[in-house]
Amino acid sequence: MFKIKTPLLFIGIMFAAIFIAACGDSESSKADATREENLEVVSRFIEEFKNNANHGIVDELMSPDFVHHLTDPRLPAGREGIKVLGQVIVAGFPDVHASVQELLADGDKVIERTQTSATHTGEFNGIPPTGKQVGWTEIHIYRLVDGKIAEQWSEIDLLGLLVQLGAIPGP
């Protein structure tokens, strides 16, 4: 009797281990799929919004209650603020191009590190066009919910840009 139970117990334990592993793989696969979807949404935002000046893409890719953690009181809140910001940048730098250096996803967050280049041919922040080729770095953190960007935090090297434009004396 003991010899019969031992193989059955072993088979039962093995079946349970396989079931648990399969469930874990399913959750892992779902997380991987969500991570890939989030990376695709942010990649599309970068290409369409930043590189193609398609500011209408904001309504498609960002949630209606989108929050950008900006500290500029001149900009409206939410999606409208991002559109205005995009328009201001394109007005000053019509050829702006963002080159992604890193795009990382973890959970509901995507982190973007970008090198941006442009020519200053229009007014920007009260600075008349200089014709200078400029570049700056950006780091953005996006939080996504149900395939839409719900929040964004940004760090942009505005000081470096203003020095390049001659608006602030350099070192």
- Taking only the tens place, the pLDDT of each residue in 99-114 is 999 999 999 999 999 9
pLDDT at 144: 97
CATH number for the domain running over 2-164: 3.10.450.50
- Taking only the tens place, the pLDDT of each residue in 30-42 is 777 789 999 999 9
Which tokens belong to 39? Answer: 């990376």
pLDDT at 78: 94
Q: Where are the domains of the chain?
A: 2-164
d(CA 135, CA 101): 14
